[in-house]
Amino acid sequence: MRKPIMAGNWKMNKTRDEALQFIYAVSNRLPKNEKLDSIICAPAIILRDLVKRQGDDLRIGAQNMHEKESGAYTGEISPVMLQSTGVEYVILGHSERRQYFNETDEAVNLKIHKALEFNLKPILCVGESLEQRESGITHTILENQIHKAFLNVKEEELNNIIIAYEPIWAIGTGKVASAEVADEACGYIRSLIRDLYSPKAADQIRILYGGSVSTKNVDELMAQPNIDGGLVGGASLNADSFIELCNAAVK
Ligand code: 13P
């Protein structure tokens, strides 16, 4: 049995005060950590504040990271810096990073290796665009992203990596992938891990669905055999809605 995950990706939202209000509002109201990994991935500038106040049942993650430890990269955040805040997770390869900041599969692979080296658990995002889905190349896109992301990653490192399938056409659009479509893609990703590593690795790796997850569709998504949780944007910004999503994940 894979432990479920409910991860919020706040993207570029919330001031420090708003973030702290959220943390106080969810405190003691989330499912126990033995049952669920509840995670909030927040803007880098408030990570340390959140880590200090996170409580036993919430984990904190970053949304991006540079692949180098230090250097002349104005405006970037390094794995060493993230580690020093005490965060446990880092989202890597989000489609918004790939799309707006030209993040390549090669960079994502370097970031995965660096994150693991600094004890940060990557939440690796993959997913196809609407055009790619409509031209029938979803599997090819996913295969390419997964193969490149996992280059030289060892099987024993996989238990520290989470995959999130996020079809670009479903992100922030209110157009959630149907539970069947989401499960099929997550199942395909699992089969890629089986081929790259082993049946055991495929059985153990946790795969999330992301893209317009809400309190309305979470039950159906969570009921799917290949979906182990959600990576949630908009619906994770409100404390009550995030708590409801977390409770749905342990039903
Ligand atoms: P929405 O839940 O707002 O569609 O965002 C999904 C996402 O990109 C999470 O990383």
CATH code of the domain covering residue 183? 3.20.20.70
According to DSSP, the residues that pair with 208 across neighbouring strands are 164
pTM: 0.97
Instruction: List the pLDDT tens digit at each of the 251 positions of the chain.
Output: 899 999 999 999 999 999 999 999 999 999 999 999 999 999 999 999 999 999 899 999 999 999 999 999 999 999 999 999 999 999 999 999 999 999 999 999 999 999 999 999 999 999 999 999 999 999 999 999 999 999 999 999 999 999 999 999 999 888 888 999 999 999 999 999 999 999 999 999 999 999 999 999 999 999 999 999 999 999 999 999 999 999 999 99
pLDDT of residue 175: 84
Say whether 134 is catalytic.
no
Expressed in angstroms and rounded, the spacing between residue 135 Cα and the centre of ligand 1 is: 23
Answer yes or no: 166 catalytic: yes
Residue 89 is part of which domain span?
5-249
Continuous segment of H or E residues that includes residue 47? helix 47-53
Question: What number does the ligand 1 atom closest to the CA of 125 have?
Answer: 10
| 151 CA to centre of ligand 1 in angstroms | 26
**pLDDT value of position 133:** 95
The whole-number pLDDT of residue 1 equals: 85
Q: Which two tokens stand for residue 128?
A: 């196809």
Residue 232 in tokens: 């949630």
Under the phi-then-psi rule, with left for phi > 0, alpha for psi from -120 to 50, and beta for the rest, what region is 58?
Answer: beta
Residue 192: per-residue pLDDT = 98
Contact 42, 14 (CB under 8 A): yes
Closest-CA residue, ligand 1 atom 7, reads: 233
Number of domains in the chain: 1
Q: 72 CA to middle of ligand 1, Å? A: 31
